[in-house]
Amino acid sequence: MNCTLLDVVLFAPFVGFLAILLAPRASAKTAALGISAAIFLLSLGLVSPFFGQGHGGTYFETNIPWIDTPSIRYHIALDGLSLWLVILSTLLTPLCVLISWRYIQNRVKEYYAFLLLLEFGVIGVFVSMDLFLFYVFWEVTLVPMYFLIGIWGHDRRIYATVKFFLYTMAGSVLMLVAIIYLYTKTGTFDYTVIQGLLAQGRVTLSNAEQIPMFLAFFLAFAIKVPLWPLHTWLPDAHVEAPTAGSVMLASVMLKMGTYGIVRFCLTLFGNAAHQCADWIVALAIVGIIVGALVAMVQPNMKKLVAYSSVSHLGFVVLGTFSFTQQGLDGAVYQMLNHGVSTGALFMLVGYLYERSHSLEISSYGGVARVAPWFTTIFMVTTLASIGLPLLNNFVGEFLVLQGAALVSKTWVAFAALGVILSACYMLWMFQRAFLGEASEEVRHHITEINSRELLAIAPLVILMVWMGTLTQTFLPSISAANAHILEQSKAGVEYQVKTTAPELAHAR
């Protein structure tokens, strides 16, 4: 059997998971760091084929049977859409090990094991080309995150985990229903086969079938994104999660939702996606604005960042459902941007928490006086988050809004309000927490960023600048994959137009 690099990158975290469970407690975190860093370096090898001609295409495909009946295949592959999300996951895992280094003191082995299991799950989600396999990985991610919050979280962790679990379960059960229904229609779980069958018209889905199936998939993903008004699990989960949990949740797990929408909702049910686009865009824009307004009045830093995520991810959904090259490119770019800058924000807030055990903005003030470098890094991250040009978010927001403008000037006029509001909530928080005179409390607790913390955040800061200026490293491969996806989603629309007409005539 030929084994591709992608197989190795996918299963290495699982092997790491087992290894850490078997390793002695004392060496657990060192092992976790070594393994996850090695996986990251390995995963960089995945980039190479995407820098060839045209940047497009699907690589590292493995397609072998897993279970005979029903026919479930181990089918994984990588294209420009999944590539960077996989690398984001492999990058953030070692960083999460680093930021947990001192904070996690009890059940250390299990903690790091779960972190690697989570990495295994999310990579699996991003590379699965078989719907059932996808679903399995989707559920696998739930388990470690459930425990990361439930065991190592803060006071109200049980409430947060149950809420997180219920929300997600509700969505994914519906998705499973739709997956199985697709199976009954096509006789396969293989995404590429199903997509081909639908595109060629060898299997037809009537509108009455397509819309509920689209919605079933979409709901599962929208909860994960989270799309307003399905977002209320997120602030609670973030506030209760340990820092690394928040980082993985925001940076990687939310992207499972947006990834799923782009990968499956658009290509399998292009017609339904187009039909529902107006409603979804409306929710996305409401999310952008309301998320930002609610973030503005949060007294708790983590909640503020969580609500800002609702706002930022509204941009991703908006771009996706503009069905334009620019909008979709911006959406995918924004997924990565959000992973980098919001991940960094959660890290920094976590550093503060480790020092003074408070997430309330009002308990800080004057941090700049005692920890100038820490403040500088926080400032850069803040600026990235509010979309300052030459930093990463600007590129994504520009493309998303440009894509939206090509469809509707009203959409973009409302969505762009989010850019004003993001400056408000971030700068007000920055002022209250970092500027002014330092209180006794702050002087006593807050210390300058240490080298381990710096090592964890530095890659993200570098990426903020890199992704804001040298976008050509990332965008061409993303663009190529998106062009293909748009083609497929359009094929669905045209096909539907062709077939529904005679059907209607027949019905009459």
Partner 1 sequence: MQQLWLIPTFPLLGFLVNGLFGRRLSKSATSLIACGSVILSFLWVLKSLSALMPLEQVHIETCFTWIQSGFVNIPFEFSVDRLTAVMLLVVTGIGSLIHIYATGYMAEEDGYWRFFAYLNLFMFFMLILVLANNFLLLFVGWEGVGLCSYLLIGFYYLKLSATTAGNKAFIVNRIGDFGFSLAMFFIVVQFKTLTFQEVFKQAAALPVEATAGSLTVICLLLLVGAAGKSAQVPLYVWLPDAMEGPTPVSALIHAATMVTAGVYMVTRSFVLFDHAPMARDVVAVVGLITAVVAATIGLTQFDIKKVFAYSTVSQLGYMFMALGSGAYAAGMWHVVTHAFFKALLFLGAGSVIHAMHHEQDMRHMGGLRKHIPITFYTLCAAWIAISGVPFTSGWYSKEAILGAVHHHAPWMYWAGVITAAMTAFYVSRSMFMTFFGEFRGHGEPHESPVSMWAPLAVLAVLSVIGGAAFNIPHFLEPVLGAAEHGGHDMMLEVIGSAAGLLGIALAYVMYVASPGMADSIADSLGGVYRLVYNKYFVDEVYDAMVVSPTIAGSRSLLWRGLDAGFIDGAVNGVGWLARTIGGGLRHLQSGNIRSSAAWVVFGAVLAVLLIGIAGATMTGGMGR
Q: Does 476 help bind partner 1 (rule: CB under 8 A)?
A: yes
Q: How far is the CB of 69 from partner 1 (least distance, A)?
A: 13
Spatial neighbors of 308 by CB under 8 A, at least 6 apart, are: 291, 292, 295, 342, 345, 385, 422, 425, 426
User: What b/e readout covers 263-299, taking b as 16+ CB neighbours within 10 angstroms?
Assistant: bbbbbbbbbbbbbbbeebbebbbebbbbbbbbbbebe
In the window 176-235, what residues touch partner 1 (CB under 8 A)?
176-177, 180-181, 184, 206, 208-209, 212, 229, 232-233
Element (H, E) at 453: helix 451-469
Instruction: Output the CA torsion 419→421→422→425 (10° steps).
Output: 170
CA atoms within 13 A on the CB side of 253: 31
Query: For residue 427, what are its two tokens?
Result: 């700068």
Q: Does 420 help bind partner 1 (rule: CB under 8 A)?
A: yes
Q: Which of 21, 38, 293, 465 binds partner 1 (CB under 8 A)?
A: 293
Nearer to partner 1, 81 or 99 (CB): 81
Q: Which one-letter DSSP state was computed for residue 435?
A: S
Q: How many residues in the shown chain lie near partner 1 by CB under 8 A?
A: 70
Helices and strands: H and E segment counts in the chain: 23, 2
In the window 345-404, what residues touch partner 1 (CB under 8 A)?
366, 368-369, 383, 388-390, 395, 398-399, 401-402
Residue 55 CA from chain centroid, whole number: 23
Nearer to partner 1, 91 or 421 (CB): 421
Q: How far is the CB of 40 from partner 1 (least distance, A)?
A: 25
Q: Which one-letter DSSP state was computed for residue 360?
A: B
Stretch that binds partner 1, among 95-103, 166-174, 260-268, 338-346 (CB under 8 A): 166-174
Among residues 354, 368, 380, 389, the alpha carbon closest in space to that of 460 is found at 380
Beta bridge partners of 59: 78
Rounded Cα distance between 460 and 98, Å, is 13
Among residues 179, 185, 184, 204, the alpha carbon closest in space to that of 496 is found at 204
Nearer to partner 1, 64 or 297 (CB): 297
Q: Does 406 help bind partner 1 (rule: CB under 8 A)?
A: yes
User: Rounded to the nearest 5 degrees, what angle is found at the Cα of 292, between the Cα atoms of 119 and 225?
Assistant: 30
Q: Does 431 help bind partner 1 (rule: CB under 8 A)?
A: yes
Q: Are 362 and 299 in contact (CB under 8 A)?
A: yes
Stretch that binds partner 1, among 35-43, 91-99, 448-456, 464-472 (CB under 8 A): 464-472
3-state secondary structure 105-142: CCCHHHHHHHHHHHHHHHHHHHHECEHHHHHHHHHHHH
Q: How far is the CB of 434 from partner 1 (least distance, A)?
A: 8
Q: Which of 126, 164, 167, 217 binds partner 1 (CB under 8 A)?
A: 167
Q: Which of 409, 451, 505, 508 binds partner 1 (CB under 8 A)?
A: 409
Q: How far is the CB of 346 from partner 1 (least distance, A)?
A: 20
Q: How far is the CB of 90 from partner 1 (least distance, A)?
A: 22
Q: Which of 7, 139, 354, 441 binds partner 1 (CB under 8 A)?
A: 139
Q: Which of 413, 497, 501, 504 binds partner 1 (CB under 8 A)?
A: 413
**Which chain residues interact with partner 1 by CB under 8 A?**
136, 139, 143, 147, 150, 162-163, 165-167, 173, 176-177, 180-181, 184, 206, 208-209, 212, 229, 232-233, 290, 293-294, 296-298, 324-326, 329-330, 366, 368-369, 383, 388-390, 395, 398-399, 401-402, 405-406, 409, 412-413, 416-417, 419-420, 423-424, 427-428, 431, 435-437, 469-472, 475-476, 479
